[in-house]
Amino acid sequence: MTRLVVLSGLSGSGKTLAAKTLEDMGYFSVDNLPAPLIGPFVDLLDRGEAEEPRGAFVVDAREREHLETLPEAVESLRSRKDTRLTVIFLEAADETLARRFQASRRPHPLARDLDSSLAESIREERRVLTPLREIADQIISTDDLSPHDLRRLLMESLREDVERAALQCKVVSFGFKYGGVRDADMVFDVRFLANPYFDHQLKSLSGMDAEVVEFLEAQDDDGEFMSRLEGLLAFILPRFVHEGKSYLTIAIGCTGGRHRSVAIGERMVRFLGQRGYPATVSHRDLLREAERAPS
* Among candidate residues 157, 187, 214, the one where a domain is terminated: 157
| 98-149 confidence digits (pLDDT tens) | 988 888 878 887 776 655 688 888 888 898 889 888 888 899 999 988 888 8
pLDDT surpasses 70 at 159:
no
Predicted pLDDT at 40: 85
Chain center to CA of 72: 31
Predicted pLDDT at 193: 95
* Among candidate residues 157, 187, 215, the one where a domain is terminated: 157
145 and 26, same structural domain? yes
122 and 215, same structural domain? no
CA 21/CA 35 separation, integer angstroms: 22
* Among candidate residues 109, 124, 157, the one where a domain is terminated: 157
CA 242/CA 52 separation, integer angstroms: 22
Predicted pLDDT at 294: 54
226 and 110, same structural domain? no
Question: What average pLDDT score do residues 163-178 get?
Answer: 82
Strands of 68-145, DSSP E: 83-91, 138-141
102: Cβ contacts below 8 Å, ≥ 6 apart: 118
Predicted pLDDT at 103: 86
pLDDT band at 45 (very low <50, low <70, confident <90, very high): confident
Chain center to CA of 139: 22
In this structure, is residue 264 part of a structural domain? yes
Residues spanned by the domain of 192: 168-292
